[in-house]
Amino acid sequence: MSENAHPRADAMDALTTGELLALMQSEDLLAVESVRPALDRIAAAIDEISTRLRSGGRLHYFGAGTSGRLAALDAAECPSTFGVPPELVQAHAAGDGEAEDDDRMGAEDARQARLGADDAVVGISASGRTAYVLAASERPIARVQS
């Protein structure tokens, strides 16, 4: 399994509704604040993705479990929200459970996506170590003949 349970997961059943909501809200704040140190890297990634898309590349998300479903939702919204062709942003998702830990499936999904030199790959993983996502992200770029 590529994700860990929250340290207070076993005690959640004993919390009142108010305590549970306070815990959830404090965790939400931690998540939001954890982005701050990465803002420069996120900006650089967005700039690089934009350059690739303007050069004719596509954006490929690779995710697993809930992360994969969120990627699929984002990709599905791009055509209507931004007026782009549906093939510009594509999501590839492993599903739940053992599929998340299937590095061979990640590499195969990346191969089948026929990634080109201008394509951008974004791996989406709550833990940062999901085998499917890492394998798809490390897949060498296929040179597509025109």
Which residue in the block uniquely carries the two structure tokens 């690089």?
Answer: 48
pLDDT tens-digit series, residues 46-64: 999 999 999 999 999 999 9
Confirm whether 77 is a catalytic residue.
yes
Confirm whether 19 is a catalytic residue.
no
Instruction: Write the DSSP symbol of residue 141.
Output: P
Q: How far is CA 74 from CA 40, 82, 89, 113, in A?
A: 22, 11, 9, 18
Q: Please name which of 62, 72, 54, 128 lies closest in space to residue 94, comparing C-alpha atoms.
A: 62
Which of 19, 27, 77, 98 is the catalytic position?
Answer: 77
Residue 39 is predicted with a pLDDT of 96
111-115 contacts: CB < 8 A, separation 24 or more? 111/139, 111/142, 113/60, 114/142, 114/144, 115/60, 115/139, 115/141, 115/142
pLDDT tens-digit series, residues 89-141: 999 999 888 899 999 999 999 999 999 999 999 999 888 899 999 999 986 55
Q: How far apart are the C-alpha atoms of 3 and 34, rounded to whole Å? A: 17
How big is the CA angle at 47 (ends 44 and 49), to the nearest 5 degrees? Answer: 110
